[in-house]
Amino acid sequence: MTAAAPATTNVRASWLLGFWHSAIGKKAVMAVTGIFLFVWIFLHMAGNLKVYIGPEHYNAYAGFLITMGAPLLPAKGALYAVRALLLIAVWLHIQAATQLTLMNRRARPVGYANRDYVSAGYAARTMRWGGVIIVLFVIYHLLHLTFGTVHPDFIEHDVYHNFVTGFQVWWVSAFYIVANLALGMHLYHGLWSMFNSLGLSHDRFNSWKRGFATVFALVVTLANISFPIAVLIGVLR
Amino acid sequence: MDLTLQVWRQASRTAEGKFVTYEAKDISPDASFLEMLDVVNERLTERGEQPIHFEHDCREGICGSCGMMINGIAHGPAGGTATCQLHMRHFKHGDEIRVEPWRARAFPIIKDLMVDRSPLDMIIQAGGFISVNTGSAVEANTLLIPKAVQDRSMDAAACIQCGACVAQCPNGAAQLFTSAKVAHLGLLPQGQPERYERVVRMVEIMEEHFGSCTMYGECEAVCPKEISIDFIARMNRDYIAAKFKNRKSEANG
Ligand code: HEM
Ligand code: SF4
Ligand code: FES
């Protein structure tokens, strides 16, 4: 057998593109964008917890998001910057997921007559469709509570009012709950899987990965579904 | 014990295949799965029918040739076992057992349960070696290797290239196999000079033929050598490092 030619030690201007073209590179991009989305969703959840302190606090917090970064940035400056980053992250995440899914379909053109799963759990097997539910939900959610397009009684800047009247419609609440359970499952697998995608493995912390993913998926999901439930049972009104 | 087998029969790579039902009567629970198939085949031959083709060689769990899907699980239900080491006592009298070949685009069926696993060889050819001038063997104690590192490398080296990881993976990915081969050399001092080049070359060939990893963990669960998916993380780490290193490699920068 001949020795490997040292081709890969050349400086390559297109290293980033080459990285993206490999499946492992795409998976790393999914992990990095996934972490960004997770951090964002965690802060989003934490911020929304203010709804339990009272309408003034909640509306003040919404006001803060608009003036965030002032006086350095104009009104909504930081908000739009974060939104732009989110859009890029979501785009890359979905693009990679789609391309890898197609690659995996090609790798097994003929399936088994009956196959058994030995270790893959429900969360792991629903990453793709779960992701689709999440995106549809995010679109609805933006039209509902951000832009008010599909909200029956939307008052600009009275975020608390929009929140409560929005969730008083039972099927809207039901959709929020289902979608956030899907998000919880996505995080349950994703927050565990991302360590491996990024090559983070060490005997010192490997036993913590499962617990880490479980705790954060649970916290985000429980807090998020508590909002529609609190409105439905009359705790928030 | 008496069993009913549903076996995939396919005359050639391009022929249409189908499941055929066979009664396997009077099977000893001490027989291995392959020995059970031998008995069935003997009776088929006596009746003048084509025996079921399957690959086998060592029959002691070290050559990696005997894989098949048994009731939808690669190498059958026992876990940590190659098909040749799976004994019929894991089944009950009256069981129905479905036997299928590995299914992956990279593993075309040669005949019945026998598939062509050569893309795994191509991955090895791409980097599963170290380049040295072979002379007489080096004195063993000139290169000291910590015990923990040796053990870890040996865990990876236990891979027998059976392809069960690919067969079981819903993505048809060969990550467990490739990562075991990458780690086995990459952990040892002899493997260091080509460590990053090796992982890039092996991964390139792997991705040409196989799917990509989504951490289902199915591979680890069926691997006859119980290779850990932690090796996949290690391969990802080396691959990512290799891509970043090459940007300004020591030689160029
Ligand atoms: C249409 C939308 C989405 C789709 C189709 C999607 C799909 C996927 C898929 C297929 C994976 C890979 C699973 C695996 O290989 O283990 C994944 C991983 C992940 N997703 Fe999503 N996802 C979506 C939205 C989101 C959102 C909104 C978040 C965050 C709140 C998120 C967070 C994550 C994380 C943290 C990972 C782990 C990355 C990794 O495995 O390396 N995803 N996603
Ligand atoms: S990693 Fe395990 S399942 Fe995969 S080829 Fe090697 S021995 Fe077989
Ligand atoms: S025949 Fe060699 S491993 Fe089974």
Q: Where in chain B is the domain with CATH 1.10.1060.10?
A: 118-252
Q: Is it the case that residue A237 has pLDDT exceeding 90?
A: no
CB-nearest to A117 from B201, B218, B249 is B218
Q: What is the mean pLDDT of residues A96-124?
A: 94
pLDDT of residue A4: 43
Q: From CA A67, how far away is CA A4, in angstroms rounded?
A: 57
What is the average per-residue pLDDT within A85-95?
97
Residue spans of the domains in chain A: they are 24-107+120-232
Predicted confidence (pLDDT) at residue A137 exceeds the cutoff of 70: yes
pLDDT band of A13, cuts 50, 70, 90: low
Q: Which residues from chain A sit within 8 angstroms of residue B238, using beta carbons?
A: 199
- What residues of chain A lie within 8 A of the CB of B125, using their CB? 1
Ligand nearest the Cα atom of residue B164 = 2
pLDDT higher than 70, residue A89: yes
Could you say which residues from 156 to 175 on chain B have a Cβ atom under 8 Å away from some Cβ of chain A?
168, 170-173
Residue from B216, B244, B247 whose CB has the most chain A CBs within 10 Å, to mutate: B216
* CA-to-CA separations, B235 to A144, A195, A200, B185, in angstroms, rounded: 44, 12, 10, 11
Mean residue pLDDT of chain B comes to 94
Cβ neighbors of B239 (< 8 A, separation 6 or more) are A22, A24, A199, B199, B200, B203
- Check residue A9 and give its pLDDT: 44
The pLDDT value recorded for residue B244 is: 82
CB contact at 8 A, A181 and A83: no
CA–CA separation, A144 vs A137, rounded Å? Answer: 10
Q: What is the mean pLDDT of residues A155-182?
A: 96
Is the ipTM of this structure higher than 0.85? Answer: yes
Task: Report pLDDT digits (tens) over A33-80.
Answer: 999 999 999 999 999 999 999 999 999 999 999 999 889 999 999 999
Closest to B210 (Cβ–Cβ): which among A4, A107, A200?
A: A107
List ligand 1's pocket residues with C-beta within 6 A: A 27, 30-31, 34-35, 37-38, 41, 93-94, 97, 127-128, 131-132, 134-135, 186, 189-191, 193-194, 197; B 214-215
Tokens (6 digits) for B170: 């819903």
pLDDT higher than threshold 80 for residue B245 = no
Query: What is the rounded average pLDDT of the residues B137-165?
Result: 93
Among B33-37, B120-124, B200-204, B242-246, the least confident range: B242-246
Q: Could you say which of B104, B246, B252 has the minimum Cβ distance to residue A107?
A: B104
The Cα of B52 is separated from the nearest Cα of chain A by a number of Å equal to 18
Disruptive mutation site among B69, B202, B207, B214 for chain A (greatest number of A CBs within 10 Å): B214
pLDDT band at A114 (very low <50, low <70, confident <90, very high): confident
Chain-chain contact of B240 with A23 (C-beta, under 8 angstroms): no
Site residues for ligand 3, CB cut-off 6 Å: B 56-59, 61-66, 82-84, 160
Residue A2: the pLDDT is: 43
pLDDT for the residue numbered A138: 97
Average pLDDT over residues B20-48: 97
Model confidence at B247, pLDDT cuts 50, 70, 90, reads: low
Residue B114 CB–ligand 2 contact under 6 Å: no
CA distance B55 to B68: 9
Out of 3.60.20.10, 3.40.50.700, 3.20.10.10, 3.10.20.30, select the CATH number for domain B3-111. 3.10.20.30
Q: Determine what percent of chain B is predicted with pLDDT higher than 90.
A: 90
Mean pLDDT comparison of A2-6, A13-17, B136-140, highest-scoring range:
B136-140
Instruction: Examine the pLDDT at B26 and tell me if it is beyond 80.
Output: yes
Any chain B CB within 8 A of the CB of A72? no
Which pLDDT score is estimated for B137? 81
Which residues share a beta bridge with B32? B87
Q: Is the pLDDT of residue A92 over 70?
A: yes
Task: Please report, to the nearest 10 degrees, the dihedral formed by the alpha carbons of residues A147, A149, A154, A156 taken in order.
Answer: 30
Domain with CATH 3.10.20.30 in chain B: 3-111
Q: What is the mean pLDDT of residues A99-124?
A: 94
CATH class for the region spanning B118-252: mainly alpha
- Residue partners of B36: CB distance under 8 A and separation at least 6: B3, B24, B27, B88
How many Å lie between the centroid of ligand 2 and the Cα of residue B156?
A: 10
pLDDT of residue A11: 47
Q: Is residue B114 within a helix (H) or strand (E), and if so which, with residue range? A: strand B114-115
With CB atoms and an 8 Å threshold, state whether A115 touches B212.
Answer: no
CA distance A206 to chain B (A): 9
Question: How far, in Å, CA of B223 to CA of B232, rounded?
Answer: 14
Residues of B in contact with A195 (CB under 8 A): 233
pLDDT band at B249 (very low <50, low <70, confident <90, very high): low
Q: Which two tokens stand for residue A155?
A: 């008052």
Distance B83 CA to ligand 2 centre (A): 13
Task: Assess A13–B contact: CB distance below 8 Å, yes or no.
Answer: no
Q: Return the pLDDT at B89.
A: 96
pLDDT tens, position by position, B39-54:
999 999 999 999 999 9
As a whole number, mean pLDDT of residues B186-204 equals 94
Contacts of B165 in chain A (CB under 8 A): none
Residue A101 has pLDDT above 90, yes or no: yes
For chain A, what percent of residues have pLDDT higher than 70? 95
